[in-house]
Structure 1
């Protein structure tokens, strides 16, 4: 049926002025019309001939269905739409040509009604299958169609004129915009917004270069993506590469962000004076639209390497997209402000540094629950006791608010004070029980729910003494010959603090090679899943870990149980090293030469320690990538630490800054991207990222060959 079934235009025939590709007009004029209801051309009614001339000369897909059988006559544009049905469709009844869809509502019946009743019909949106040349199954396409009765010189209806325009692209854009809005709704941070916005703009507009800008104190922060730029999953975990632009910059995106006025350049060199590299220099057509937000200022830019006329539909779509980005940016700004305050409060109440001991290696990890936008009550601590032992603790104060964090701070401080006076775990928890009961009475509530496990590690006696107040039993990874195993300690649980807790202690062996793991219930609890399933999964994952290194086990433990949790997650791990490890550290300045200096320092240090050459090469390469990323995405000085034990090499890079403050000179001098985390995944045995009080730490571990 005319305008019903066809193919998305794929050849020059669909372009005005290129109709000779099909030669449809020649085929139409040469067809033996004498054998049809239309008759030979020299006998055509003048009014019908005028319609035929209109059809054949129009660049718009048009068809004439003539007579009771609705015999088809059409132009090049229509031939492109109907695909392989052309040229056999010329002079044949429409019901035969489109027999597979003629019976569908809105297909044959519309054409019949127009012909029989002489009524014009406009269908603004019709979704129908289209043929494909590549042999694949038909796909759905959207059309706007108009059907008008054709009258001869006597005024009689002798046929139907159909004008068809495929609007699939417009429909796809609208659907894409809906998907874009849904994706933006799931973003939390400005980095998330940038990732989603750039990915959408590049695909939706089939652009060569897209960019996003947002106001920053004294200027603008911009980030871009270019077509063909390879980004893998590892890159997506890294923050986008932001660049800083001065507040008075005359770059098109900065001008749009500052003035709120869109700029459309169909052809020229809009980036000539502001190009960062060849990708910018090649841009000929550029559109910059403002975010149109009352709270933040910024813009979205789309560019092409060829001249590109900006249609009214594209301008409207760009404007709508930028408005969605503006709304998401507002939400991200609010979240980051609240998130930063909550995290600063939370982490200021946790120990900034854990003890550095020759035989006991310690690591901890804390991940906020819910949406990461509230302070929580989970806490951990490790500290040296007057007796020479190591006190370790992990607890949970119910709640996800400032009050819970404040109570957590009180409990943690009181526990350390009690332990320094009398380190016996049962005595410490008994004293804490009185404190929590007092805090509950002071607040007039009996709902102050606190659980905690406290232990003392005696490395000389190779033992651990623990007591628990309603907290999950710790997990002990034993480095047994042949196959490590993980087992939950047989520890009397007792009641939570504040409820008349009468804790009992348990002492068990803690031998070189063993690792103790304390954790909060957020590690193992999931909705609609038995707690025993989570506990079993944690034990299995810890036992299967490549080593007992505490930092690696913390990362493994927090990711052990699948599924999201709304609770905070806290883990503390202590490894009794088989032999003391060797450590070294270097402060890395925030300058472009830092990665090179780190490479030389690390190569010399590891060579002096007689680390195998293959391990040195992999470790130096991974560390170089981490230091580069720290400069690119944090922009501050960083600290590189290496720790070598008999079993593994552990390297960490810790930054202490905010993102987006790297200067233009630094980003130009450093590598533009690097494969960073992708390389680390390939060359290391374990890796992870840890948030710290004033920044973040990325680390990796490489196991050493036996002997």
Structure 2
């Protein structure tokens, strides 16, 4: 019968005579087997005793269930798997020890089937809930399990041998690789690819240090890394990663692998000794470097540990697969960045790079591309001085998101300025533009050229504003009455037909007093899917009225974010403030040198002190400016320009870089950089802040309201 353990009258050397081993072996050898249905080990069948010796000596997790009671006997490897159930599980019935899973399909029934029939059982992957030692929680662990019958010397089945190999880590890594591929599919830029690759490698391989490198395209490399336990910019998943640039012949292992296309694995040593930049590199003892294996972009991925680490075949395969996925994503990202950069440069080169600098009229504009940012659009703005000393301001929209729309936008903008310089009356200018657009339509053989424009003439001396519109949304004026709360009202200007349709626009003139701010905007600011236009216009007016000040740069940022929800259209905003009193301004060119932030602090502190600014405002402003300057120099890698503008109501500071890395996105302060207080500090110390894209870079600014006298 399979339930009877074979006995022999004169057994050879008993199991208990084997040398004692620690852990499970000690518990097995010391267990009181005589009190069980198996009896004392001295009476066990010699074949069974030999199997027991093999099990106890094996490093592979093994267990025996013996007799009809399925009494448990197992080795150290198996003891690690069952955690807190050891050592009480030794000699107890398996159905009792594993009561929570014994009746689960493929577990107890498989053991019982093998015991009854002798048929082996193999399950390559199964998930079981187990208690890890000392954890106090149930973990779902993945195993590969095999059961085979154990026979005595007479060929009778006396038990079942269970061999278990935990494959949780491999399974998790394979799932993580799938998640990695899905995450890379959503990346657009190399910044995005680097963020995803660093996050995947540090978590999937439980690494101490990860480095991602790509070639610069024209010689040299740029590297970004992530360190276990260190909160970096990319932890927020929205800020750009901090790249470090190196020469083309840099001997770092990840660059060597990228150049040669050959992976390298170091199990122990000091692989980063020659190129270490800090203590984190110096502590690395094991390092794997694999090339990205892309056809166009060269790059590499490095995984490092602070302890010796043998790289298994499975780990090497996973690394190679991850590097190949990252390489494909990097190539897509580089193509996108090239197309995106060309489209945006075309778009922004057709917009004014500098707006007029006037003592009583402060001007700011903002343009954010719609769709995916990979096509030029037709929104435009302009501001220019007229022969009589007035200020001409315009914002328009040429339908389309392609190079042709951008080219037509350039034609319309150039013609508008030429007409205004000849005859500044808004209705006359738009009438002339209507004839131009009609001519362009005839030339192109189409009637689908849709152009809307609003044009204003600001006369600061007479405190009046004259407007005309050709199918464009009505402008908004934020009025700041010293005796009351600010309010925002739309100007009742006759809309007229879009250009090219025989437009005959009419003008309207309204008061534009000191303290007022004019806001021109495109329909992308207020239009959203499944939302009425009136809702968007109401949200915009409410946001502008509730702004902390009428500063045009701040209002542009407020207007761009006033209506919630994504838009596929371009967003263009232009604001003009009629200042209560003239402001004072100064600027400084900041070279890309390590001492630049300290020079900025010294210059700015002296300038604001000379202007009589309160010490509390100076301290906050200098600190914030230093952080923004450091951020610009690190991320753009080029010189920057710091501008300060002081009015009786507020201090405005902006830091512009000339890089092409894109804008910095607002983030919550609890997830910001450990590289200093960073943008979280700006959030805390300023009354408003934002980012503006420019023709060749981006500008980050902040505003501090001044205490009233």
TM-score, scaled relative to structure 1:
0.92
C-alpha distance in structure 2 between counterparts of 1:449 and 1:592, whole Å: 51
Written as runs of structure 1 = structure 2, the 5 A alignment for 1:296-311 is 296-311=297-312
Q: CA deviation at 1:367?
A: 0.9
User: Cα offset for 1:420?
Assistant: 1.9
* Map 1:348-367 → 2, pairs under 5 A: 348-367=349-368
Hey, what does 1:278 align to over in structure 2?
279
Partner of 2:210 in structure 1? Answer: 210
Q: List per-residue Cα deviations over 1:239-264 (Å, max 9, x = no partner).
A: 33322322223321221111101111
Q: Which residue of 2 aligns with 1:521?
A: 523
- Partner residue of 2:76? 76
1:416 matched to 2:417? The reply is yes
**Matches of 2:40 and 2:186, distance apart in 1:** 65
Paired residues of 2:20 and 2:29 also in contact (CA < 8 A): no
Q: 2:4 corresponds to which residue?
A: none
Mark the runs of 5 or more structure 2 residues left unpaired by the alignment: 1-18, 663-672
Distance 2:393 2:278 in 1: 53
Quick one: distance in 1 between partners of 2:505 and 2:210? Answer: 62
Bigger Cα displacement from structure 2, 583-592 vs 79-88: 79-88
The match for 1:39 is 39
Which secondary structure state, in structure 2, belongs to the residue aligned with residue 318 of structure 1?
helix
| CA apart distance, 1:232 | 5.2
Q: What is the aligned partner in structure 2 of residue 563 from structure 1? A: 565
Residue number in structure 1 paired with 2:466? 465
Alignment partner of 1:162 is 2:162: yes
- Structure 1 match to 2:608: 606
Q: Distance in 1 between matches of 2:624 and 2:316?
A: 45
Q: State the 1:465 CA deviation.
A: 1.8
> Matched residues in 2 for 1:30 and 1:421: separation?
106
Q: Which moved more, 1:637-646 or 1:590-599?
A: 590-599
Are positions 1:682 and 2:684 aligned together?
yes
Structure 1 residue 238 displacement after superposition: 4.6
74-83 vs 121-130, which moves further: 74-83
- The separation in 1 between residues aligned to 2:315 and 2:20, in whole angstroms, is 25
CA displacement at 1:648 relative to structure 2: 0.6
Q: Quote the Cα distance in structure 2 between the aligned partners of 1:672 and 1:105.
A: 50
Give distance in 2, aligned partners of 1:108 and 1:235: 47
* Larger mean Cα displacement after TM superposition, 237-246 or 176-185: 237-246
Alpha-carbon spacing, 1:238–1:519, altered in 2? closer, same or farther (3 Å) = same
User: Comparing 468-477 with 223-232, which one deviates more in the overlay?
Assistant: 223-232
Residue 326, structure 1, aligned to residue 334, structure 2 = no
Measured in 2, the distance between the counterparts of 1:703 and 1:195 equals: 36
Please show how residues 186-197 of structure 1 align to structure 2 within 5 Å.
Answer: 186-197=186-197
After the TM superposition, which of the residue ranges 158-167 and 194-203 deviates more from structure 2? 194-203
Partner Cα distance (2:674, 2:248) in 1: 24
Counterpart check, 1:101 vs 2:101: yes
Report the CA distance between 1:169 and its aligned residue: 0.8
- Are 1:341 and 2:342 an aligned pair? yes
C-alpha displacement of 1:235: 7.2
Change (3 A) 1:234 1:618: farther
Query: Which residue of 618, 625, 642 maps to 2:620?
Result: 618
1:693 Cα shift? 1.4
CA RMSD, Structure 1 to Structure 2 (Å): 2.2
Partners of 1:590 and 1:635 within 8 A in 2: yes
2:87 paired with 1:87: yes
| 2:11 alignment partner in structure 1 | none
Q: Match of 2:669?
A: none
* CA distance in structure 2 between the partners assigned to 1:88 and 1:306 by the alignment: 34
Structure 2 distance, partners of 1:488, 1:58, is 83
Are the equivalent residues in 1 in contact too, given 2:519–2:576 (CA < 8 A)?
yes
1:486 matched residue in structure 2: 488
Distance in 1 (alpha carbons) for counterparts of 2:676 and 2:708: 32
SS at match of 2:684: helix
- Other-structure match for 2:3: none
Tell me which moved more, 444-453 or 334-343. Answer: 444-453
TM-superposition CA deviations, 1:514-565 (whole Å, max 9, x none)? 1111111112222233333322222222222111111111112212223322
Partner of 1:10: none
Distance 1:626 1:422, change over 3 A: same
| Per-residue CA distance 1:319-346 (angstroms, 9 max, x = gap) | 1111111111101111111111111111
* SS across alignment from 1:319: helix
Aligned position for 1:537:
539
C-alpha change, 1:530 and 1:339, in structure 2 (3 Å) is same
Trace 1:646-665 onto structure 2 (pairs within 5 A).
646-658=648-660
Structure 1 residues 30 and 133: CA distance shift in structure 2, 3 A? closer
| CA shift for structure 1 position 274 | 1.5
Structure 1 residue matching 2:416: 3-state secondary structure: helix
Matches of 2:625 and 2:558 in 1, distance apart?
A: 21
**Given the superposition, is the C-alpha separation of residues 136 and 515 from structure 1 closer, same or farther in structure 2, using an over 3 Å criterion?**
farther
8 Å CA contact 1:350–1:379 kept in 2: the answer is yes
Aligned to 1:255, the other structure's residue is in SS state helix
Aligned mates of 2:145, 2:239 — CA distance in 1:
48
Q: 1:635 touches 1:659 (CA, 8 Å); kept in 2?
A: no
1:233 and 1:645, CA in 2 relative to 1: closer, same or farther beyond 3 A?
farther
Residue of structure 2 aligned with 1:574, choices 553, 573, 576: 576
For 2:236 and 2:471, the matched residues in 1 are separated by: 42
* Structure-1 separation of matches of 2:220 and 2:96: 66
Q: Which residue of 2 aligns with 1:554?
A: 556
Q: Is residue 245 of structure 2 the alignment partner of residue 251 of structure 1?
A: no
More deviation, 593-602/347-356: 593-602
- 2:6 corresponds in structure 1 to none
The residue aligned with 2:185 is 185
1:233: Cα distance to partner? 7.3
1:221-260 to 2 correspondence within 5 Å? 221-231=222-232, 237-260=238-261
Report the equivalent of 1:144: 144
Is contact 2:226-2:232 (8 Å) kept? no
* 1:437 is aligned to 2:402: no
Distance in 1, Cα, partners of 2:127 & 2:514:
71
C-alpha distance in 1, partners of 2:372/2:304? 35
Change (3 A) 1:117 1:499: farther
The question of whether the paired residues in 2 share the 8 Å contact of 1:19 and 1:76 is answered with no
Distance verdict in 2 for CA 1:237–1:645, change over 3 Å: farther
Preserved CA contact (<8 Å) 1:476 1:516: yes
1:132-158 CA-partner distances (Å, limit 9, x unpaired): 456665232111111111112121222
Q: Give the 3 Å change call, closer, same or farther, for CA 168–568 of structure 1 in structure 2.
A: same
CA contact (8 A) 1:282 1:305 kept: yes
Q: In the alignment, what sits opposite 2:53?
A: 53
Assess if the C-alpha contact under 8 Å between 1:494 and 1:504 holds in 2.
Answer: yes
Per-residue deviation, 1:659: 6.2
> What does residue 511 of structure 1 align with?
513
In 2, Cα distance between the equivalents of 1:298 and 1:71? 56
DSSP 3-state at the match of 2:356: coil
Q: Is the 8 A contact 1:375 1:405 kept in 2?
A: yes
> Tell me, which stretches of 5 or more residues in structure 1 are unaligned?
1-16, 661-670
Cα distance in 2 for residues equivalent to 1:452 and 1:642: 32
Rounded to whole Å, the distance in 2 between the matches of 1:87 and 1:281 is: 42
Structure 1 pair 470/229, CA: closer, same or farther in 2 (3 Å)? same
Structure 1 position 658, deviation (Å): 5.0
1:595 aligns with 2:581: no
C-alpha distance in 1 between matches for 2:533 and 2:162: 66
How many residues align? The count is 679
